[in-house]
Amino acid sequence: MSERSKRYRNGIDGGILDDGRLRILMLGGFFLLVFGMLALRLYYLQLYRGEEHRKVIAGQSIRYIRQPGMRGSIYSADGVLLAGNRISNDLVFYPAEMRRERGKEPLREFMARHAAMLAGILGRNDYPDAKKISRHLRNEPGIALTVFKDLTPRETALAFEALRTMPGADIQRSFIRICPENKLAAALIGYAKKEDPARAADRDKFKYYIPDIIGIEGVEAACDRLPGSAAGLGLRAYPGYSIIQVNNMGYAHRELLGKKEPLPGSDVTLTVDSRAQKLAEKLLLGSVGAMVVIDADNGDIICAASSPGYDLSRYYPLTFEYHNELSSAQHDPRLNRAFNQVYPPGSILKPLIALAFLRNGVNPQETYYCSGSETIGNAAIRCSAHRYAGADMDMESALEKSCNGYMIHHARQLGLSALAGTLHEAGIGQRTELELRNAAGNFPAPQLKKTLYKARWNEFDTALLSIGQGLISVTPLQMALIAGAFANGGTIYVPHLVDHISDANGIILYKRQITASSRINAAPEHFDIIRQGMFRVVNSSGGSGRRARVEGLELYGKTGTAESGSRTNKRNITHFIAFTEYQNRRYAACITIEDGRSGGVTCAPLMAAFFEHYLMGN
């Protein structure tokens, strides 16, 4: 082989050898780079983000459990507890601890067997079955399962003895809502129940959610939250939480990693006097209707009774049987007739109509000859004072004897527009600013008739309005406020049921403010004339409300009997409004009874009985 050929072959072999070494070096360098990057990444994760990852890992085994606090209480103005709480001893199972003791038996069957065993010892049959236990284990394994709630002292003693040899079971304390006065002021207090967790604003903050007791109706609902207070607390408490650690199956033990105690709810004190409320409810017993008594100088509600009533103590817990009993009642006991039922006012509207007459220039001494009825077109409206037919009536005597003809005569002359301003200032057709929901009723207006009946307002409508019939409806609350305006000279006050709200330390968070919602603009001498007519209603021998007279008490009033329903199913709605002064305090009231005989016969005696017993102690 030539020298040139040798050099050529050696060059190829050498090139191939050099290429192999290069590949090995490149592969080695690649692996070194990869391992270097992994080492740097591990170094970075451990040194710079180690704490963050440790928190994430810990977070996978830590659970926050929402803990509701004790709901606030509701008191009457004289300190009687109307709604509060009591401690309940509950028997609970801790799934994690029972799981360790179950052996090979499925946990739900193990728990169900022990629940049945305890039921036999305690003499109960309301224990959770395997299906309910399964649902709890699936959805809330970190929360103790309540097996029996509200143990009696005897049951508690038996349970403590049995639990000595039963792992994972214990006695816990919770709170149960109570209403120790049973039916008293039920329509005012309303009721509360557990909140639906799915609707709770803070549901996403907690793994396991124990809901609050929240207000649904009445004061329980109106004072559930208190905007503007230091902690936003109304009756509803501010929740706390517990921090627990769970295992890889999600089961938790009793040991806590941390805890924040909840803040108790605030207490609500009403303006209602429990003695007045009891008396009003007693007087209405067996009737369908309502009674409202207010302080005429500030709008505070002294009592507001609605009949028939219901037993709030049976709402905790509310059984299906009692719910069905209330729902199927002929007259719904849950309806607050004092605030939310509207009625035709009948003749209790006449003092307000007469005041409108005075504002529009009617001479109160001018007489009207009452023939016993007033004819409008082809229709005749009979006078409620028909036994006085053939007599001349001035304004005071027309109020005293409740003469329809007098009212109709002047209303026809003046027209609707002359009456509307006074009715509006008195709050007719308007909701009050009471803390609780309340009805507005109907304001008599041409547009209302057009909407309801596709017809125009006419003279007959004005005539009906003047005697409190036709297209007008009111609540007993509204008429009590109007009676108060006649007592105080024209001010319609904002009614209040809540006097103040205070926190657990007694610090006042809210205090009701005395404010006027409107004023009936009439001269003082005009109010004097109306008051004198209302005095004669009660205190003259021919007054329509003479059965309301109370010896030693200067009572002013007005009777009313309105027809309600269809022509084939007419019924009487009877009323009596009144005001009086006793020991430098002025009171105003309205009582309404459905299917009564008349305001003078049915309602006036009840008003007399109320003021005689409440004010004079007879």
194-245 per-position pLDDT tens digit = 888 878 888 888 777 788 889 999 999 999 987 555 445 799 998 888 786 6
Q: What is the mean pLDDT of the chain?
A: 88
Q: What is the model's pLDDT at position 58?
A: 46
Contacts of residue 377, Cβ cutoff 8 Å, sequence gap at least 6: 459, 460
What percent of the chain shows pLDDT beyond 70? 89
Q: Is the pLDDT of residue 30 over 90?
A: no
Q: What is the model's pLDDT at position 288?
A: 97
Average the pLDDT over 161-169 and give the result: 84
Instruction: Name the residue with higher pLDDT: 201 or 254.
Output: 201
> Which CATH number, 3.40.50.150, 3.50.50.60, 3.90.1310.10, 3.40.1190.20, labels domain 62-269?
3.90.1310.10
- E-strand ranges in 207-343 read 213-215, 240-246, 252-260, 267-270, 289-295, 301-307
Question: From CA 233, how far away is CA 235, in angstroms rounded?
Answer: 7
Which tokens go with 274? 């429990």
Q: Which residues of 66-91 are buried (b: 16+ CB within 10 A; e: fewer)?
A: bbbbbbbbbbbbeebbbbbbeeebbb
| CATH architecture assignment, domain 274-310+336-616 | 3-Layer(aba) Sandwich (3.40)
Q: State the pLDDT confidence band at 414, using cuts at 50, 70 and 90.
A: very high
Q: Which of 39-53, 252-266, 355-369 has the lowest mean pLDDT?
A: 39-53
The phi and psi torsions of 82 (rounded to 5 degrees) equal -100, -30
Q: What is the model's pLDDT at position 255?
A: 56
Q: Is the pLDDT of residue 548 over 90?
A: yes
Q: Is the pLDDT of residue 60 over 60?
A: no
- CA 35, 40, 45, 48: dihedral to nearest 10 degrees? 170
85-95 per-position pLDDT tens digit = 999 999 999 88
Q: Which of 18-27, 141-150, 296-305, 507-516 has the lowest mean pLDDT?
A: 18-27
Which tokens go with 127? 């224990």
Q: What is the model's pLDDT at position 48?
A: 57
Q: What is the model's pLDDT at position 391?
A: 85
Using DSSP's 3-state secondary structure scheme, residue 498 falls into strand
DSSP state of 265: P
Which tokens go with 91? 């028997």
What percent of the chain shows pLDDT beyond 90? 63
Q: State the pLDDT confidence band at 318, using cuts at 50, 70 and 90.
A: confident
Question: From CA 617, how far away is CA 420, in angstroms rounded?
Answer: 41
Instruction: Name the residue with higher pLDDT: 175 or 480.
Output: 480
Q: Is the pLDDT of residue 3 over 70?
A: no
The phi and psi torsions of 143 (rounded to 5 degrees) equal -110, 140
Question: From CA 127, how far away is CA 145, in angstroms rounded?
Answer: 11
Question: From CA 559, how far away is CA 604, in angstroms rounded?
Answer: 7
116-136 per-position pLDDT tens digit = 999 999 999 888 988 999 998
